[in-house]
């Protein structure tokens, strides 16, 4: 039946349930949102009204919650008289509905019914539950802005793959994408850059026109609500103390003013690691506390991501203000100064009932108590954090950075990084073998990251993200064997059906045979890395 991600247990019986015009939905307590979603998606695709019906009737889809130890587990039974989806919570019911949609066939992913199409479901019983509680996708909208409608579309694509954490990378050197009412210049100035580097930072090519955009607070509320209806948590990222030139361009006093003329800085127009970082002053702390106060009002998530990665320390070494702060606090060096900076916001967030998460550089100089780690520079950071008793999300760049190229061929558009094929992603294992069972319990889950320096429009984002996100989703959800033992040939067979679903959804994925002519970008310089990635 070609389901992706593969369910935990499935039993197929002989025959089908035909869906006629009278087929309806009985929504038990707590399942009303899933019933609305089914009518809003399957209704247009099938032409069926899916009216409310009572449970003692035939041709009914029964939705019910039976609380259990796994809130996201579900049981789906398709019998000759009707269908029953039972979940451990509302989330479990919703994931069961996603499976039901796949069982209806690829045309169930369209927005209007095709003439003459009939609908039937295979008689089946499925019992399913996810391996990890954190099944994430990070989308970088700072390097290239994605309008709100595109973000909502990606939330739908995540839901279709049973992913449940949307890591929203909202700020960076190249743009500030969220309205902060008390600091209006962050979007008035920080959301637009004058031009954009085309390709890798070593490329001689430029797009000589302004690029930018931002989400109003009402846009953010809409995105968060839309995600919640799909049982997806939105984790915002506000990058500190590095990756902050857009903020410094808007408010120069945030930078190291005793080292450089921060008033001369503009929103950065190229890629790479930027030397202009936040000054470790009380003014900077108060400014970002104000930012985070508004962020907390908009995002109810348990975790708030603060970045913490790629913060060059040269300006702090040359800054008398930074050096005075090191002496005042009795710190050993600039690494400990960054640890103090991150620790301040860890305590600030904890006092408000939230948890800080950051990239694995927050380990440098001592990990802030209570913080969780996004392990991106390989497995080492995650291993160190888990052994120290900190929660971890595994997202190593060598495995699940989807901006990396998918094939060594010369036709790949703007080839970046190591080759990470569909099979490579399918054989990714999030839990390092070095961890003991107790330490492994700190691995909350895993996440694929989509950085958009060389993705100038939604079609490029689609190309880099799909079909590899389907393989990642199975890794995050399904109880797969060890990487070498995984049935990739079977996964490829199931992908044949899944490509038709992606086609119906209008996803501009990379075809198995390679890029289509209009997906190539000849003459645009990339940064390919030869050889297999280090598995560290």
243 is catalytic: yes
Phi first, then psi: what are they for 306, rounded to 5°?
-115, 15
Which residue pairs from 111-117 have beta carbons closer than 8 angstroms and sit at least 24 positions apart in sequence?
111/44, 111/45, 112/44, 112/45, 112/47, 113/44, 113/45, 113/46, 113/47, 117/46
310 is catalytic: yes
Indicate the pairing of strand 165-169 with strand 134-140.
parallel
Q: How far is CA 256 from the centre of its chain?
A: 32
498 is catalytic: no
**Rounded distance, CA 122 to CA 9, Å?**
15
Which of 523, 524, 505 lies closest to 465, judged by CA? Answer: 505
- Joined together, the tokens standing for residue 347 give 């305590």
Any idea which residue has 């009737």 for tokens? 57
Any idea which residue has 């890794």 for tokens? 475
Q: Which of 310, 336, 411, 503 is catalytic?
A: 310
**Rounded distance, CA 403 to CA 532, Å?**
16
Helices vs strands, H then E, count in the chain: 17, 22
Phi first, then psi: what are they for 37, rounded to 5°?
-65, -45
Q: Which of 172, 173, 239, 424 is catalytic?
A: 172
Residue 361, helix vs strand vs coil = helix
How many CB atoms lie under 10 A from the CB of residue 328?
8
Q: Which of 144, 200, 231, 243 is catalytic?
A: 243
Phi first, then psi: what are they for 62, rounded to 5°?
-90, 130
Question: Which residues carry out catalysis?
Answer: 172, 243, 310
């Amino acid at each position: 039946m070609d389901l992706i991600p593969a369910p935990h247990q499935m039993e197929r019986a002989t025959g089908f349930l035909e869906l006629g015009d009278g087929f309806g939905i009985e929504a038990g307590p707590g399942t009303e949102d899933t019933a609305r979603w089914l009518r809003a998606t399957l209704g247009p695709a099938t032409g069926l009204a899916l009216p409310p019906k009572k449970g003692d009737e035939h041709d009914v889809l029964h939705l019910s919650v039976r609380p259990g130890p796994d809130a996201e587990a579900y049981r789906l039974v398709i019998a000759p008289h009707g269908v029953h989806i039972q979940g451990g919570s509302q989330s479990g019911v919703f994931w069961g509905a996603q499976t039901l949609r796949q069982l209806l066939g690829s045309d169930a992913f369209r927005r209007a019914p095709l003439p003459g199409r009939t609908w039937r479901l295979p008689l089946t019983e499925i019992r399913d539950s996810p391996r990890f509680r954190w099944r994430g996708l990070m989308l970088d909208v700072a390097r290239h802005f994605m309008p709100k409608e595109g973000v909502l579309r990606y939330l739908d694509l995540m839901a279709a793959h049973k992913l449940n954490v949307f890591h929203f990378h909202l700020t960076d050197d190249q743009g500030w994408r969220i309205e902060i009412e008390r600091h209006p210049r962050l979007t008035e100035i920080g959301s637009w850059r004058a031009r954009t580097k085309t390709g890798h930072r070593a490329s001689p090519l430029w797009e000589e026109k302004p690029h930018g955009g931002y989400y109003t607070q009402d846009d953010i509320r809409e995105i968060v609500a839309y995600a919640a209806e799909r049982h997806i948590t939105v984790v915002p990222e506000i990058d500190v103390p590095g990756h902050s030139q857009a903020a410094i361009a808007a408010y120069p006093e945030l930078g190291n003013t005793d080292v450089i003329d921060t008033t001369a800085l503009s929103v950065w127009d190229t890629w790479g690691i930027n030397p202009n970082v936040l000054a470790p002053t009380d003014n900077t702390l108060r400014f970002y506390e104000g930012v985070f106060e508004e962020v907390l009002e908009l995002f109810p998530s348990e975790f708030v991501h603060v970045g913490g990665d790629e913060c060059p320390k040269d300006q702090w070494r040359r800054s008398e203000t930074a050096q005075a702060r090191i002496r005042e606090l009795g710190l050993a060096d600039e690494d400990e100064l960054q640890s103090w900076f991150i620790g301040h916001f860890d305590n600030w967030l904890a006092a408000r009932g939230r948890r800080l998460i950051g990239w694995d550089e927050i380990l440098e100089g001592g990990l802030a108590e209570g913080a969780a780690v996004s392990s991106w520079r390989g497995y080492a950071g995650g291993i160190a954090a888990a052994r120290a008793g900190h929660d971890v999300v595994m997202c190593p760049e060598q495995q699940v950075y989807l901006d990396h190229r998918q094939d060594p061929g010369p036709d790949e558009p703007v080839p970046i990084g190591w080759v990470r094929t569909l099979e490579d992603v399918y054989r990714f294992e999030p839990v390092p073998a070095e961890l003991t069972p107790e330490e492994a319990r700190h691995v909350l889950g895993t996440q694929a990251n989509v950085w958009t320096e060389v993705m100038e429009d939604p079609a490029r984002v689609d190309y880099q993200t799909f079909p590899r996100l389907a393989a990642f989703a199975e890794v995050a959800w399904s109880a797969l064997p060890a990487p070498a033992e995984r049935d990739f040939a079977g996964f490829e067979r199931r992908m044949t059906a899944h490509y038709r679903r992606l086609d119906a959804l209008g996803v501009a994925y990379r075809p198995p045979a390679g890029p289509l002519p209009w997906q190539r970008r000849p003459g645009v310089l990339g940064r390919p890395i030869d050889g297999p990635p280090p598995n560290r």
